[in-house]
Each structure stands twice: as C-alpha cells, then as structure tokens.
Amino acid sequence: MTRSAVVCGLGAYVPPRVVTNASLAEVLDTSDEWIRSRTGIRQRHVVDPGVATSDLAVDAGRRALASAGTDQVDLVVLATSTPDHPCPATAPEVADRLGLAGVAAFDVGAVCTGFVYALATAAGLIAIGVAERALVVGADAFSTILDPADRTTRAIFGDGAGAVVLRAGSADEPGALLGFDLGSDGQHADLITVPAGGSRQRSAGGSVDEWAQYFTMQGKAVFFNAVLRMSESTATVLRDVGWTPDEVDWLVAHQANVRILHAVADQLGLDRGQVVLNLDRVGNTVAASIPLALHDAAAAGDLVPGQRIVLTGFGGGLTWGSAALRWPAVRLEPAHHANLTHLTTKD
Ligand code: COA
C-alpha cells in the first residue's frame, strides 16, 4: 500500500476578545443587520495589543499535539500571511516554543488557501520519507493589518489558529489524505493585497504613507472568483479520488461569506446543510479558517469517523486548493470543548 500522510490530531485556538457586529457599529458606519445579511457573520475574535500570530499558533499547535497523543514531530509547516516579522519565518519560533527545537520548520504564504497548501506540502514530505510526523498550522492575526476605518474588511475578518498532526500511514486508513488540487492566478494579485511593506515599495523608496500599508480587497470580484475557483477545485479533487458529489458527507470550505458557501454548494449539487459553517462565530480567519471549521464540526460531533470530507479554500494570489479524506477517529482534548463553548457564545 502506498505510503500516505494520515490526519491523527486536531486543535484550535481563538483569542478571548469577542467583537460583535453591534460593537463594530458603535465605531463604524455599519449595522448588525447589514453584516449578518450580507456575510452571515455575527462576531469575530481579535487579538489584544501585543499578541502575535505565533502566540495563536502555539496554542493551537499544543492542542493538536495533545489530540494526537504525541510531543514529537519532525516537521512544522505554518500557513500565515501575518507573520510575527517580515523576516525570519514564524514557524521556527513556533516549533521552539512547542519544545520541537531542531525540526524542519517554515512558513507557507497563500493567504486564505494557506492551510490547504501547507497540508499538501507536509503530506508530500511525509510521502517521500523526509518526515514521519508533521504539525501543520494555519494561523493569522489579520486584525493587525486591517484599516481601522474600513467597515468592509473589519466586518469580515477575525483572528485565530487551527492545527492538525499528520503521521505516515497508508492510503486505506481513515484520515489518509487521498488527493489534492492546487492552483493560482497571479493576474488578479491586486484583488487582495497589502501594497506596502515589501521589496517593491522598499526599492521604490518613499514613505510607507505614500503606499497603502493596510489590507485591501475588491469584494465583488473576490466573491465571484471564490465561488468559481472553490467549485471547480472541489469538482477536480472529487474526480481525482473517484467520488461523486452525492458521496460527499461534508464540505469544509474556507469560511469567507455564507453566501459564497451556499453558492459553492449549489454549483456542486450539494445540500447547503452539508457545508460546515462556523463563520457566524469567528468570521473569516484566513489561514486558520479551514482547520478551525474542521475543529468546530468535530467538537460538535458532526464529523463521524469514516465520512467523506472535502476541504476547499480560496484566497489572495489568487490561490485555491482542495483536499479529500475520510474522517478519522480523532480525540479532542477537554479544552477543545471549552473553546467551542466559548465560540458559540451568543451576542
Ligand atoms: N456595512 C455597511 N455597508 C457596507 C459595509 C458594511 N460593513 N461594507 C460595505 N458596505 C457598503 C458598500 O460601501 C456599498 O455602498 P455603496 O453602494 O454606497 O457604494 C454597499 O455596501 C454595497 O457594497 P457591495 O460591495 O456591493 O456589497 P456586497 O453585497 O458585494 O458585499 C462583501 C460586500 C465584501 C461582503 C462581499 O463582496 C464579499 O463577501 N466579498 C468576498 C469577500 C471575501 O470573502 N474575502 C476573502 C476571500 S479569501
């Protein structure tokens, strides 16, 4: 049997501070009604001053390692587009703080598709024997790059982290990652961007103020591309693994907007109830979105071992990606359930 990467642990973390739609409406020209009806989001969690992406990643990573019943991996891959610093990568610090000093550790940048890209990277390194066990984390403190005056982006994004542990196993085991589809379209890089802070701006000179230092997004074009690419990518990975849409139990899609998720379900001929939904409680948490949704669905008892699961993501780049697996029996730590209770706190 072919050597494959198998999911064997799952953890998540969101920072404790909750920002409701009502509290956003106190400082911006928006309303709970607008945000709920246009996005499905009721609240999001945001970091306090001084808290960075690595802090979220360490918490989620620790929980995923406990869930897997191990404190040993030989690879850490961190998906993020809000690293603690432009240089170096954040993953080595996360590894060190988890007691994993010395292991291979690097960041993957694919914005909201980052977790799927990181999962594929780690699965590939396991498949070719470079690693036996990997910790794959998606973490973003996206609130730190939002324009405080931008009602559109502040309504959508939240902070958080999710993580899985992969181990070497075989393709016939539950939890085995059976197939991936990954893609990009750099012609539309400007739809989702932070213009300043990179080599383009630095080599051109001028003050950061002359460049946009905050995250910008062209919402309508992003919406259209998200539906198109997640639908196409999911269909591709289903074809690759030989599943028909009616054999899928759950679609765990990037939590961008409930209207995007429903449109993807409609395109694929899935029941809208088969799409895992937690964006109402956490918003769009970028690279953390898919593992956080997986975690919440598993903690709620919705994901049953043996079920057929498809993960699909879309994000800046543009990038997109999907993965298919049968859900494994994963033990979640009691802390995970406490976390879920926290997530389900009503406004
Ligand atoms: N509160 C109130 N009004 C808002 C608002 C907010 N939080 N955000 C935007 N608006 C306004 C706009 O300014 C616009 O006003 P105008 O008509 O006076 O210009 C109006 O609402 C309609 O804006 P529009 O962009 O047409 O709304 P929409 O239905 O497309 O919804 C998004 C906007 C951002 C919610 C939607 O486009 C979206 O979800 N896009 C995808 C975003 C995403 O998923 N990004 C991450 C992908 S990885």
DSSP track, 139-197:
EE-GGGGS-TT-HHHHHHB--EEEEEEEEEEETTSTTBEEEEEEEE-GGGGGGEE--SS
The pLDDT of residue 101 is 87
pLDDT in tens, 145-201: 999 999 999 999 999 999 999 999 999 999 999 999 999 999 999 999 999 999 998
Q: Whose CA is nearest to atom 1 of ligand 1?
A: 30
Residue 323: what are its φ and ψ, rounded to 5°? -145, 150
Record the pTM. Answer: 0.95
The pLDDT of residue 211 is 73
Supply 335's token pair. 């802390």
Question: pLDDT tens, position by position, for the chain (347 residues)?
Answer: 689 999 999 999 999 999 999 999 999 999 999 999 999 999 999 999 999 999 999 999 999 999 999 999 999 999 999 999 999 999 999 999 999 989 999 999 999 999 999 999 999 999 999 999 999 999 999 999 999 999 999 999 999 999 999 999 999 999 999 999 999 999 999 999 999 999 998 899 878 777 789 999 999 999 999 999 999 999 999 999 999 999 999 999 999 999 999 999 999 999 999 999 999 999 999 999 999 999 999 999 999 999 999 999 999 999 999 999 999 999 997 644 344 433 433 33
34 CB near ligand 1 (under 6 Å): yes
28 Cα–ligand 1 center, Å: 14
106 CB near ligand 1 (under 6 Å): no
User: Which of ligand 1's atoms lies nearest the C-alpha of 316?
Assistant: 48
DSSP three-state, residue 330: coil
Helix (H) or strand (E) holding 36: helix 32-39
Q: Do domains 3-170 and 177-326 have the same CATH topology?
A: yes
Distance of alpha carbon 19 from alpha carbon 39, whole angstroms? 15
Distance of alpha carbon 276 from alpha carbon 287, whole angstroms? 16
The pLDDT of residue 341 is 39
Q: Whose CA is nearest to atom 32 of ligand 1?
A: 219
Distances (CA, A) of 326 to 94, 173, 249, 319: 29, 8, 9, 24
Pocket test for ligand 1, best of 21, 29, 257 (most atoms within 8 A of CB): 257
CATH number for the region 3-170 comes to: 3.40.47.10
CATH 3.40.47.10 fits 177-326, yes or no: yes
Eight-state DSSP code of residue 71:
S
Q: Catalytic amino acids? A: 112, 254, 284
User: Which of ligand 1's atoms lies nearest the C-alpha of 286?
Assistant: 48
191 Cα–ligand 1 center, Å: 14
Domain extents in the chain: 3-170, 177-326
Distances (CA, A) of 74 to 92, 146, 152, 174, 236: 12, 34, 40, 22, 31
Supply 107's token pair. 């960041």
